[in-house]
Amino acid sequence: MAFGRFWLDFLVGDTPELLVGSLLAIGAAALLVHGVGVRAVVVVALPVLVLVTLVLSSLRARARARPPARSHDAE
């Protein structure tokens, strides 16, 4: 258990969305190549999907880093 937890923490850390996003990007690229048969599109689609993962994860981190807005009720 401890060994598994160590590797999970080592590979995933506090950004599980990066792992999920990477897997989805690879899965979508594989589907485009082997399912749809459009290899050329993947040359652009794969980097774009990777960038979308980075952007969404960074936005999530920014939302978590920002202090909660002050409530009007408290004023």
Partner 1 sequence: MTPASCQAGAVHNSVAVLLVAVFLASAVEMVEALTIVVAVGVTRGWRSALEGTAVALAVLVGLVAAVGPALVHYVPLSTLRIVVGGLLLVFGLQWLQKAVLRAAGLKAKHDEDAIFETQVADLSSGETRTRGRDSTAFTVAFKGVFLEGLEVVVIVLTLGATENRLGLASLAALAAVVVVGAVGAVVARQLSGVPENALKAVVGVMLVSYGTFWTGEGIGVHWPGSDLALLVLAAAYAVAAWLLGRLLNRPPAGAVRVA
- Contact positions vs partner 1 (CB under 8 A): 10-13, 15, 18-19, 21-23, 25-26, 29-30, 33-34, 39, 42-43, 46-47, 50-51, 53-55, 57-59, 61-62, 65
Q: What is the smallest separation between the CB atom of 72 and partner 1, expressed in angstroms? A: 15
- The smaller minimum CB distance to partner 1, of residues 45 and 74, is found at 45
Count other C-beta atoms under 10 Å from residue 7's C-beta: 9
Q: What is the length of the chain?
A: 75
Count other C-beta atoms under 10 Å from residue 72's C-beta: 6
Task: Say how far residue 54 (Cα) sits from the centre of its chain.
Answer: 6
Q: How far apart are CA 20 and CA 25, in angstroms?
A: 9
- The smaller minimum CB distance to partner 1, of residues 66 and 74, is found at 66
Q: What is the smallest separation between the CB atom of 71 and partner 1, expressed in angstroms? A: 16
